[in-house]
Each structure stands twice: as C-alpha cells, then as structure tokens.
Structure 1
C-alpha cells in the first residue's frame, strides 16, 4: 500500500513537471530568428483568438510562444505555446469579460527565441445581458415558481438558476435548463414560510450572461397549530378530544394521530372537519396518546399538538361473598362496590347455569334450591354506564338431603 502511494505521488509529480515544461520556452534571444508579424485578433467574452503571417518556410523555427502582460507580476508571462512552425493561430481562453489585454508573440527554435513582436492589444466582449424580464411567484406551498421572457439572442442555448437561502446572499447553482425558449422553473426543494433569493443567467457556448436582478420569494406558511386541546378521562369506552383553532380560508381538515403507548410511534388514526373528535374504544381503563394537526387545501400540515386521554375503568369485583342458610333458602351477601348501581348474581348447578337475579342492594336470598345438590355463585358489579366488573370469587354450597 505504501509503495503504491509513493508510486502515485511520483507519477503526479512527473505529470506536474511535464505540464510546466509545455509552457517553458528557450530564454536565449536570437536576433536572426524571424519575428511574428501581421498579427490580427478577434475577441469573445472570455477568449481572444490570434492569427499571424506564416513563417513555416523557416526550418529553424520549432513553434511560437505567446506572452500576456500581467501588471500584477510586473511584466509579460508565458500563457501558451504552439509547437508547429506551420501554425498561424492561437486562442487564449479563461479571460475576464469586458477587459483589456496586451500580448507579444515570439518564434522559437530548439535553443533560442526571437525578439518580441509588436505589442498587440485586445478587449474581450462584455457578457450578454440576462433575460429581459423575470419574476418570482411567491406564496406557493413548498415551492417557488420563476418565470421569464426567453432571451432574444439566438446564441443562448439555456439558462442557469442560482439560489441564496438567506440574507447572506451566498448564491449557488440549483438548476441548468436547456433550450433558449425555456421560460419557467419551479423550485420544489424549499421549505414552508422561508424567503429565498434567485438569479437567472442566460447560457451560451461561451459561458454565462450577466446576472439578472435578484428575485425574492417567500413560500406559503404552514397553518397555525391548534390550541387549548383536551381529552376526556372519565367516559365509558370512548375518549373525546376538543380543541380550538384559528379559522382560515383554505382550511381542509384536522389530522388525528394515535398511539397506544408512550414509547410507540404515532399513526394517522382519523380526520375531522370540526374541533371535536370522539374515539370509540372497546377497552375499559385504557390510556391513549394523541396528536392533532391542521391541514390546508394544499396539503400543508401544521405542527402537531399532543394530549393524553383515558377511558373509564369498570367497577371493581365484589368481595367477601358469603352464604347463610335460612328457613326459605340461602341468603347471599357481599361487600358494597364504589360506583356500583346494581349487582348481577350468577348461579351454576346441575340444572341451571346463568344469570340468577339483578339487585340494587348487597344481599339476595336464593329460594330455588333442591336437596342434596351443589350450587356455585358469583356476583358482578354494574355502574351507571353499564360497565361490568369481573366476577367475584366463586362461592360453592351443597344442600343436605333433608333440605
């Protein structure tokens, strides 16, 4: 691995030296070498092209060196070479639009270089203007729409869209569109209630145009969340949710999410058009966790607000079930249960199995007995809502033969 890395570094270094060598030129000047003349230039926004009279008949010449004036470096710097004596053209690229440049061209042989040509000056063309009209459509749900008038210059082959996400105005490219007649772009990689800035550039084969004026757009805000939410904790087999919300024109509905445990994820349980919702539950003494949000007609959803609800618990099972023989039968008694409205007595024997009676008190006398028989009793408490407790402990009794 180490040897491979060293080999790679050596290769890169040699490549670097090779690249530098292509821009090296002999330093010794030979006054007998012919100097390029008849130099003409043609400019674009980022390039300058050169043409000179041919010197190909002189076999001493190996090629031509092009030097550009670099004021910050104090003189001319070699910017290109043409390694063929028959060549008569060169293009200097990567230049700044609407800028002045000065050049000298020399011929060179194997060991020397000619005197410099006359200084040649050229001016790069200014970038073309951006689109003549552009507009950002704001207030859209999680998107910004840009429209513009197609560029009139037939050299335009597309557009580049740049965006800044804040006041710092640090623009970066988000899209490139092909075709001069394209006149729309929808940015869907935006967030709700955020402000964005855009610049449109026309694209040609030579580069980008001047930037358009910055376009500003703010996306549609999310609906306001609900407030003052409550959930019932004492209703039988249901939980009622109530909340308040701020009315707005494009309201669609409320989303109700539910979880059966605090550590479990919420899932969409139902929707509601009103500020109340009743969740019908089959379980007694059940806790449910809810989240409620507001949704508009574009599908934008507000922040979710949480609440916890609870169903009513059933009465507790009666305790202390007891039996005592009487002159007419067996007297049953048990302890009172809080919240109980009535009690159901269940009986099981050889010829009966089911509900024996319903009473409002805590005693009952069973007179339907047979001698030398076994009977089993249970009692269930029932509250005002009809919720029933579990059965009490069983009480088993056997009558004697003389009963």
Structure 2
C-alpha cells in the first residue's frame, strides 16, 4: 500500500511539473510590443535602446530582426539576435555596411510564444571614409618602390592597407599595412625588375572598417 501511495504521489508531481512547463511554453500571455525604439547610427554599426519590459515576469527575452532595404517590394526580415533576458534594454548591430539603408524591428518572447513586431525602425548608415589621396609610386633603388600619400583627414583612421597587383594580373593582393593616421609612406622592397606594378591604399579604422579605395599608382621596375 505504501509503495502504491508513493507511485501515485510521483505521478502527481510529474503532472504538476508538466503543467508548469506547459504554461511556460504554450499558454499565450499578452506579450508586450516594443515601441519607441531610439537609435544611434554610425558607418558600420547601429545602437538601439528601448523601454524596459522587466515588469512582465513571463517575458523570457527579446528578438531582433533586420531587413536590408529593397525598393518597391516587401522587406524580408531575418532574426539576427536573441537576448535571453527581459531586463535588457540595449543592442548594437556591428554587421552592417556603410551608406546602406536597413529596417529593424523587435519582439518579446515567452517560451515558444512571440509578440507581434514592434515599430519598424529605419536606419541609414553613414557614408564610408573618404578615399586616401595618393601622390606617387617611384623606384628609388634596385627592386625598391616608395609609395607616398596624403594622411587621411578622418580622425578615426588608425592604419593603412597597401594592395598591389603585378603586370596584367587582374586580382589585387594584400601587400602590407602601416599604423598611424599621420604616416604618409610605404616602401615596397619586394618588387622585381622587369615587372610593372600597381598600388592602391585603403584607410582603416580600429573596427576594421575601410575607406573608399584610393586611385591607382602605376610604376615600371626596370
């Protein structure tokens, strides 16, 4: 008899647990809709802030959706992040491109349930950094080419990437990089006699975001 009572008690405990799990997963609570989202926009990132939904204890997190603007057709939203915390009020998206328009929206979640989309937030990122003004590429010694440019006026630039291609080969290759926004030169000591080289320079910020590619400098190593 005692064993039977224990088994019955276990069954009731399991049913009670399943009931609580079921409530968390399947019961449709009136989930709050996120509105009034504020934004701060940069070239390759955008930050968002919204009013807290912490007063809703059944909210388990927040989903963020993004669509890259497509003129004349409905936007296609993709979930880019899920924050498993109802106390969160901020999010930064760093995987976007300069000079591009996007749309964002946010939802709240509770178990398997999700709210309707909140306000649609348009974002237009800033243009890329201005291109580096190159001056010259000159053979200064055997197998040695000196490249000069004007230091970027963009204060965020902290290094320059030098790219090179040889003769009529169509592809550009990374050659080297130099740190310091005020650095105006690079010396290529890997050039070989009998070839024509082309060079271009890209300014890069601390987040790896590049400027518009510079004009091309061409030099023949005789």
User: What TM-score, normalized by structure 1, do the two folds share?
Assistant: 0.45
Offset of residue 99 of structure 1: 0.5
Does the residue aligned with 2:96 lie in a helix, a strand or coil?
A: coil
Distance 2:206 2:28 in 1: 41
Bigger radius of gyration: 1
| Structure 1 partner of 2:145 | 144
Trace 1:1-400 onto structure 2 (pairs within 5 A).
30=28, 32-69=30-67, 75-138=76-139, 140-206=141-207, 207-219=209-221, 221=222
Question: Does the aligned pair in 2 maintain the 1:104–1:120 contact within 8 Å?
Answer: yes
Native 8 Å contact 1:163 1:173 kept in 2: yes
Aligned-residue offset at 1:39: 0.5
Q: Are the counterparts in 1 of residues 134 and 215 from structure 2 also a CA contact under 8 Å?
A: no
CA distance in 2, matches of 1:40, 1:73: 23
Higher helix share goes to which structure?
2
3-state DSSP class of the match of 1:75?
coil
- Is the Cα contact below 8 Å between 2:47 and 2:90 reproduced in 1? yes
After superposition, the C-alpha distances for 1:16-64 in whole angstroms (9 at most, x for unaligned) are: xxxxxxxxxxx98957100111201222222122111111121111111
Q: Is the 8 A contact 1:30 1:114 kept in 2?
A: no
Shift of 1:169: 3.3
Residues 38 and 47 (structure 1 numbering): CA distance in 2 closer, same or farther, change over 3 Å?
A: same
Q: Contact 2:36 / 2:119 at 8 angstroms: preserved in 1? A: no
Q: Distance in 2 between matches of 1:201 and 1:188?
A: 20
Structure 2: distance between partners of 1:28 and 1:124: 39
| Root-mean-square deviation (Å) | 2.3
User: What is the CA distance between 1:193 and its match in structure 2?
Assistant: 2.3
Counterpart residue number, 1:248: none
- What is the aligned length? 194
User: Separation in 2 of the partners of 1:201 and 1:132?
Assistant: 10
Please, which runs of 5 or more residues in structure 1 have no aligned partner?
1-26, 222-403
Contact 2:140 2:146 in 1 (8 A): no
In structure 1, how many angstroms separate the alpha carbons of the residues matched to 2:116 and 2:27? 6
Is contact 2:39-2:46 (8 Å) kept? yes
Paired residues of 2:100 and 2:125 also in contact (CA < 8 A): yes
Change (3 A) 1:29 1:103: farther
* Residues 201, 152 of structure 1: alpha-carbon distance in 2 compared, 3 angstrom cutoff: same
Counterpart CA distance in 2 for 1:40 and 1:185 is 43
* SS of residue paired to 1:56: coil
CA distance in 2, matches of 1:48, 1:160: 25
CA displacement at 1:73 relative to structure 2: 10
